[in-house]
Amino acid sequence: MHPSHFTAVLLFAIFASTIFGITMRETPRRMFRYGLYCFALFVGSAIVISWVMFLIAR
């Protein structure tokens, strides 16, 4: 099984944001919210960077 690049980005974002949420905040509610925030930033930045690379390559 070979995941696509986007699947790999999603897996990385899930694991990294989970670790960041657990280690950077004190209460479970704040952990969850910070984890979602980090996940959104990881995925959003990957999409933006991929579009920039696409436009540069053209």
Distance CA 41, CA 45 (A): 6
Q: What is the pLDDT of residue 44?
A: 97
Which of 50, 54, 51, 46 is CA-nearest to residue 12?
46
Q: What is the pLDDT of residue 9?
A: 95
In contact, 18 and 1? CB cutoff 8 Å: no
Residues spanned by the domain of 32: 5-57
Tens-place pLDDT, residues 9-41: 999 999 999 999 999 999 999 999 999 999 999
Q: Which residue has the higher pLDDT, 58 or 26?
A: 26
Which of 56, 46, 54, 57 is CA-nearest to residue 8?
46
Number of domains observed in the structure of the chain: 1
